[in-house]
Amino acid sequence: MPSGVVTLLFSDIEDSTGLVHRLGDDYLGVLERYRSVVRNAVEESGGAEVDCRADELFVVFEEAAQAVAAAVSAQRALAAEEMRVRMGIHTGKPALSEGTYFGVDVHRAARICEAGHGGQILASAETGAAVESEAELRDLGEHELRGLPRPERIYQLVVPGLAADFPPLRVDHSSGGLKQTETERTRVVLAEDSVLLREGIASLLEDGGFEVVGQAGNADELLLKVRSYNPDVAIIDIRMPPTHTDEGLVAANEIREKHPETSVLLLSQYVEAGYAMELLSESAEGVGYLLKDRISDVDDFRAAVRRVAEGGSALDPTVVSQLVGRRRRDDPIGDLTPREREVLGLMAEGRSNHAIADELVVTERAVEKHVTSIFSKLRLAPAAEDHRRVLAVLAFLRG
């Protein structure tokens, strides 16, 4: 990868979520064709691919003119196939480490792309200054883009044969940023080798107010995305290439060790209680384990992701049921009433007293009494914080 002053280009498909819903399996063909067109244009112009996540491509060039040439070439080919792709270009001096770029210059290029429309090529003032003698530029004025420290002057490249008129940039002028600020959104990296399932999960999360900042199809890509984007939570399929055994679990443990600020939520096709216990062996803070079938309960799934991202826990009810249903000699679980067993299961899932009360349609005070009784019968020391009491319950269930 080139270092020093470079030019960064981001591209993505306009309304990709809508395309997934409308096209179903056919979306894969659109995605592959889009990537092929952009990659060919980048290669012909001397650029290099930095990252690819779903429909977003991040590439770099040594010279601004190369980036402009690649963008124009790609847009012409995409227009011929009626693909609406937006592009943003910025020239700066980002930090380079382990084959990828970091810093505000990367965010600036990404945000400029995000502000555009399908078929539009946008450029920062720095890129505009570098190519003003070689390209026709339209000054779109200064705009505040989310997460950036100062307003950005944005230019549009006007290219013969391509559309020149577009709606206003996708910024909220009343609040000085995009309509939902970065600080309001939970940042997610998603690892799943099935592209359609990954896109579906990303779609329902984004519709729920999350920001999916990275997607990966294997454990190595996942770890790179976590290092690059520092997400609030990583959602990880346990079984990923190449062996489809426990690559996701191994990656989750590495994330917990090396990136403790990132929570992890494992997804599994089948009940594998041993994996859940291994993940929870040291701490239940910012940890979750759900069956993929649970994703269809969209509201519950989003709530579980948010709970884990905020440092709580979420354990699939099916796994909890298996653990609670075990029988051991002198097992005090047998002393619990049916209602107390229900409460115990919801506690082990990571639910708060308030959430348990809503689920069982009882008062929060009634739940508190059940919890006190459960701790007494299981001979566990009471704990006020949710994740500590989950640890206490799981310690008993593992026993």
**pLDDT value of residue 182:** 39
Task: Assess whether pLDDT exceeds 60 at residue 291.
Answer: yes
Is the domain of 92 the same as that of 77? yes
- Condensed to tens digits (0 to 9), the pLDDT of residues 8-47 reads 999 998 877 677 767 777 888 888 899 999 999 999 999 9
* Amino acid letter for position 347: M
What's the CATH number where 91 sits? 3.30.70.1230
Domain ranges, residue 231? 185-315
Which pLDDT score is estimated for 385? 55
Q: What is the CATH number of the domain that holds 338?
A: 1.10.10.10
**Tell me, what's the pLDDT at 77?**
94
Weakest-pLDDT range from 78-82, 116-120, 173-177? 173-177
Q: What is the pLDDT of residue 174?
A: 41
Residues 6+ apart with CB under 8 A from 182: 146, 147, 211
Residue 1 falls inside a structural domain = no
pLDDT given at position 275:
65
Shared domain check, 75 and 16? yes
Please give the mean pLDDT across all residues of the chain: 83
Same domain, 134 and 176: yes
On whether both 357 and 387 belong to a single domain, the answer is yes
User: For the chain, what percent of residues have pLDDT higher than 90?
Assistant: 32
pLDDT, tens only, 127-149: 999 998 888 999 999 998 876 77
pLDDT of residue 10: 95
Same domain, 67 and 104: yes
25 and 160 belong to one structural domain: yes
- Mean pLDDT of all residues in 317-344: 70
Whether 246 is covered by a domain: the verdict is yes
In a shared domain, residues 166 and 230: no
Question: What CATH number did the domain enclosing 256 receive?
Answer: 3.40.50.2300
Which pLDDT value is given to residue 58? Answer: 92
Of 262, 287, 315, the position where a domain reaches its end is 315
Q: Examine the domain organization and report whether 228 and 298 are in the same domain.
A: yes
Count of structural domains, the chain: 3
Q: What is the pLDDT of residues 184-197, one digit of tens each?
A: 578 999 999 988 88
Of 181, 198, 217, the one marking the end of a domain is 181
- Is residue 162 within 8 A of residue 76, CB to CB? The reply is yes
pLDDT at 270 over 50: yes
237, 347: one domain: no
Alpha helices per DSSP H over the chain:
16-23, 27-44, 64-80, 104-114, 125-131, 195-207, 219-229, 247-258, 273-279, 298-309, 317-324, 338-349, 353-360, 364-378, 386-398
Q: C-alpha angle with apex 212: 208 to 215, nearest 5 degrees?
A: 135
- Which one of 266, 296, 315 terminates a domain? 315
User: What pLDDT score was predicted for residue 273?
Assistant: 61
275 and 298 assigned to the same domain: yes
Please compute the mean of the pLDDT values over residues 365-371 and round it to a whole number.
85
Q: Which residue has the higher pLDDT, 336 or 204?
A: 204
Q: Is the pLDDT of residue 166 over 80?
A: yes
In a shared domain, residues 262 and 176: no
**For range 137-165, the mean pLDDT:** 88
